[in-house]
């Protein structure tokens, strides 16, 4: 149910002499209150004209602040209904990292729910064939899944598995069991992984599935897993909502290490 909310923001909160544009100052204040839960999910923000009068700024300034909130995936804008908060601060943020990598993936599988969107045998692209070390004429299973955390869209996953490995589990199992566990059952326990982390804007199709605005920032992790024999057994591209997933690393410095590069 959508409820109107009064924002705790006034003209005194803005600094016209600052080098930070006024629209970004407004965006930052509202963003903080949304992330802190002061402005809960399904709340409707005040109309643009109301904030124009309250803050003494232009309509364009308020509109741009609201648009920035939408791009960040915090609100959705509806014609005739206003701007509604879409971020739920009560849903926890998942943290991933290098330490306990595989156990962390298993734990994520237990703490989130997966929805199987698509599954089919396909001819791999040259890039996929190369990462999975497949010969000419090989087939792979392409799996598309959506993970949810407390019923909120969390990550969009596109995975490729060599055909001979995919034949060792059923499509029904893909909807109920983590791929790590299925690979282990198939005799190809992942023991090594290479991954690349990038930030990307949400494409329209992925944005619709993850429940964010097209162009919103997403965290993309491309990972190739190998079994104990060094065989590539999984190529996965996982796209996470940036407001629901954080990647942590713990760094340590050796006594003779040179850290003068920055």
User: How far is it, in rounded angstroms, from Cα 141 to Cα 199?
Assistant: 26
Residues of the chain with pLDDT > 70: what percent?
A: 85
* Backbone torsions φ then ψ of 72, nearest 5 degrees: -75, -5
**What is the CATH classification number for the domain harbouring 104?**
3.40.1410.10
User: How far is it, in rounded angstroms, from Cα 202 to Cα 218?
Assistant: 6
- Which residue segment(s) compose the domain that 12 sits in? 3-85
- Is 164 found in the same domain as 194? yes
- Is 229 found in the same domain as 156? yes
**What is the CATH classification number for the domain harbouring 53?**
1.10.10.10
Two tokens, residue 42: 């399904």
pLDDT of the residue at 95: 53
User: How far is it, in rounded angstroms, from Cα 89 to Cα 219?
Assistant: 19
Q: In a 3-state reduction of DSSP, which class is residue 143?
A: strand
Per-residue pLDDT tens for 49-94? 999 999 999 999 999 999 888 877 788 888 888 899 888 777 665 5
Q: What is the largest CA-CA distance in the chain?
A: 67
Residue 188 lies in a domain: yes
Domain limit, last residue, from 56, 85, 114: 85
Residue 10 lies in a domain: yes
pLDDT of the residue at 147: 86
Question: What DSSP letter does each residue of 187-211 carry, written as one string?
Answer: T----EEEEEEEEEEPPHHHHHHHT
Residue 254 lies in a domain: no
- Is 237 found in the same domain as 173? yes
Chain-wide mean pLDDT for the chain? Answer: 84
* CB of 76 closer than 8 Å to CB of 41: no
Strands 217-226, 232-241: pairing kind: antiparallel
Residue 166 lies in a domain: yes
User: How far is it, in rounded angstroms, from Cα 206 to Cα 199?
Assistant: 14
Per DSSP, what are the bridge partners of residue 146?
115, 156
């Amino acid at each position: 149910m959508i409820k109107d909310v009064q924002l705790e923001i006034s003209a005194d909160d803005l600094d016209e002499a600052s080098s930070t544009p006024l629209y970004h100052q407004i965006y930052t204040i509202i963003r903080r209150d949304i992330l802190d839960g002061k402005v809960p999910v399904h709340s409707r923000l005040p109309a643009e004209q109301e904030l124009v009068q309250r803050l003494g700024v232009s309509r364009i300034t308020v509109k741009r602040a609201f648009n920035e909130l939408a791009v960040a995936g915090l609100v959705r804008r509806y014609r005739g209904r206003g701007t509604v908060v879409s971020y739920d601060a009560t849903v926890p943020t998942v943290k991933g990292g290098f330490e306990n990598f595989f156990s962390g993936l298993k734990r994520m599988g237990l703490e989130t729910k997966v929805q199987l969107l698509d599954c089919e045998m396909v001819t791999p692209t040259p890039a996929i064939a190369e990462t999975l070390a497949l010969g000419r004429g090989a087939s792979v299973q392409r799996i598309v899944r959506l993970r949810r955390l407390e019923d909120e869209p969390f990550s969009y996953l596109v995975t490729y598995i060599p055909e001979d490995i995919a034949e060792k589990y059923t499509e029904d199992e893909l909807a109920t069991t983590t791929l790590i566990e299925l690979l282990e059952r198939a005799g190809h326990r992942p023991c090594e992984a290479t991954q690349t982390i990038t930030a990307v804007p949400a494409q329209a199709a992925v944005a619709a599935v993850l429940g964010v605005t097209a162009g919103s920032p997403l965290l993309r992790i491309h990972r190739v897993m190998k079994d104990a024999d060094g065989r590539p057994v999984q190529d996965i591209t996982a796209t996470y909502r940036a407001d629901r997933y954080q990647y942590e690393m713990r760094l340590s410095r050796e006594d003779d290490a040179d850290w003068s590069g920055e």
